[in-house]
């Protein structure tokens, strides 16, 4: 068992963090995975537990991954997002906010190497916004977060081109539309709420690029913690149906001509977001998690939907392609 802690100067002699001296350990399930229904709920429960302990109850946390056997792409991105939100949005009770999360790494060497070699550790290690800014200087790290697509889009495309070479058709326009929708609209529903939106979270998105050069397989995963598609499109969907599930709301957003946002010049709905799947023979699928719903889209048709017990806490989109690249 290997424990990753902070620099010694951040810890008291008895091993307790400074400030609030109470630390809670949260044990990870054996699999952190959003793709399989049997693992989805316990994955979300784990994320929600440590998120609540830090941001609502004011505890330091140790995330115990010792029994972890599998960490999949979308779950690793959510881990990055949840941890960095804790590190950058903690209450003032914490003397060292960047030290709010520490880790026990997996005993399984292959899974431990996922943390060390994939760029994940550099993304979730103790630190705050300056650590996240440094990720932009590491073109080889596939984990990125930002809130200014106009200035950051160039770096994203540069990274993709360096890693993958030739990109799937229309993926750049799909990413641009997704970033702009997040920046302009995803967090609008929180304005005027009882708890002000933290400055760090305004327009915030997280991204992970998984590239397997041996298989020529590419996955791009994008996550935001906004209000989600169902809550933003329900005013439109209610004109069609009296009661609409989260899956039905996502499916409605995917229909041609339906836009999530009623603002002139903004919001092309899912036309741009779906287009890489329709335009590339190499496309495998588009996954859209939002609210409690999941919709899977392949080549012009919705092929699967699933209503889960836990909300994704925003929207997560994944495009996956095979047989692409250099």
Domain of 235: which CATH number?
Answer: 3.30.565.10
Query: Same domain for 152 and 208?
Result: yes
pTM: predicted TM-score of the whole model, two decimal places: 0.88
Q: Which pLDDT does position 149 carry in this prediction? A: 82
Locate 59 and state its tokens: 């505890």
Query: Same domain for 311 and 207?
Result: yes
User: How sure is the predictor about 235, in pLDDT bands with cuts at 50, 70 and 90?
Assistant: low
Of the three residues 135, 156, 182, the one that is the final residue of a domain is 135
Q: Share the mean pLDDT of the chain.
A: 85
Of the three residues 98, 113, 135, the one that is the final residue of a domain is 135
Lowest model confidence (mean pLDDT) among 2-16, 34-48, 73-87, 286-300 = 2-16
Q: Which pLDDT does position 303 carry in this prediction? A: 73
- DSSP three-state, residue 237: helix
% of the chain beyond a pLDDT of 90: 58
Q: Which pLDDT does position 319 carry in this prediction? A: 97
Q: Which pLDDT does position 324 carry in this prediction? A: 84
Question: Residue 34: is its pLDDT beyond 90?
Answer: yes
Q: Which pLDDT does position 258 carry in this prediction? A: 55
- How far is Cα 230 from Cα 239, in angstroms, rounded to an integer? 14
| CA–CA–CA angle 191, 192, 196 (5° rounding) | 75
- How far is Cα 28 from Cα 50, in angstroms, rounded to an integer? 10
Query: Same domain for 125 and 165?
Result: no
Q: What integer is the mean pLDDT of 218-237?
A: 84
Query: Same domain for 181 and 264?
Result: yes
Q: How many domains is the chain built from? A: 2
Question: Residue 17: is its pLDDT beyond 80?
Answer: no
Q: pLDDT of 252-272, one tens digit each?
A: 888 755 554 443 333 455 778
Question: Residue 295: is its pLDDT beyond 50?
Answer: yes
Query: Same domain for 262 and 156?
Result: yes
Question: Residue 11: is its pLDDT beyond 70?
Answer: no
Burial (CB < 10 A; 0-12, 13-18, 19+), residue 323, is: middle
The CATH number of residue 21's host domain is 3.30.750
Query: Same domain for 68 and 22?
Result: yes
Of the three residues 135, 156, 176, the one that is the final residue of a domain is 135
Q: Which contiguous run of DSSP H or E holds residue 314? A: none
Higher pLDDT, 251 or 236: 251
Query: Same domain for 93 and 170?
Result: no
Q: Which contiguous run of DSSP H or E holds residue 55? A: helix 37-55
**231 is in which domain, residue-wise?**
137-326
- DSSP three-state, residue 163: helix
Query: Same domain for 212 and 80?
Result: no
Q: pLDDT of 87-141, one tens digit each?
A: 999 877 788 888 899 999 999 999 999 999 999 999 999 999 999 999 998 989 9
Query: Same domain for 245 and 157?
Result: yes
Query: Same domain for 192 and 312?
Result: yes
Query: Same domain for 15 and 93?
Result: yes
Burial (CB < 10 A; 0-12, 13-18, 19+), residue 209, is: buried
Query: Same domain for 121 and 153?
Result: no
């Amino acid at each position: 068992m290997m424990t990753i802690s902070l620099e010694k100067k951040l810890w008291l002699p008895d091993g307790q963090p400074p400030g609030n001296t109470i630390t809670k350990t949260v044990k990870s399930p054996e699999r952190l995975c959003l793709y399989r229904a049997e693992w989805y709920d316990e994955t979300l429960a784990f994320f929600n537990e440590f998120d609540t302990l830090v941001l609502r109850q004011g505890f330091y946390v140790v995330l115990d991954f010792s029994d972890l056997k599998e960490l999949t792409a979308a779950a690793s991105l959510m881990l990055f997002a949840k941890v960095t939100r804790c590190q950058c949005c903690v209450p003032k009770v914490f003397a060292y906010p960047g030290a709010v999360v520490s880790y026990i790494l997996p005993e399984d060497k292959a899974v431990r190497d996922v943390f060390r070699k994939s760029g994940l550790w550099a993304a979730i290690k103790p630190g705050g916004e300056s650590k996240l800014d440094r990720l932009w200087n590491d073109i080889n790290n596939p984990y990125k977060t930002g809130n200014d697509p106009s200035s950051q889009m160039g770096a994203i495309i540069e990274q993709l081109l360096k890693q993958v070479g030739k990109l799937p058709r229309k993926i750049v326009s799909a990413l641009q539309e997704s970033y702009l929708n997040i920046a302009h609209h995803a967090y609008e529903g929180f304005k005027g709420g009882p708890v002000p939106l933290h400055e760090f979270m305004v327009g915030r998105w997280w991204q992970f690029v998984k590239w397997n050069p041996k298989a020529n397989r590419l996955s791009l995963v994008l996550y935001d913690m906004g209000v989600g598609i169902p809550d933003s499109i329900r005013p439109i969907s209610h004109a069609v149906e009296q009661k609409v599930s989260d899956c039905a709301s996502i499916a409605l957003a995917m229909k041609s001509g339906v836009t999530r946002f009623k603002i002139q010049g903004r919001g092309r709905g899912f036309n741009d977001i779906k287009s890489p799947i329709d335009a590339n023979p190499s496309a495998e699928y588009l996954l859209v998690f939002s609210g409690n719903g999941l919709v899977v889209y392949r080549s012009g048709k919705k092929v699967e939907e699933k209503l889960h017990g836990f909300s994704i806490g925003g929207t997560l989109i994944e495009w996956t392609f095979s047989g692409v690249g250099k």
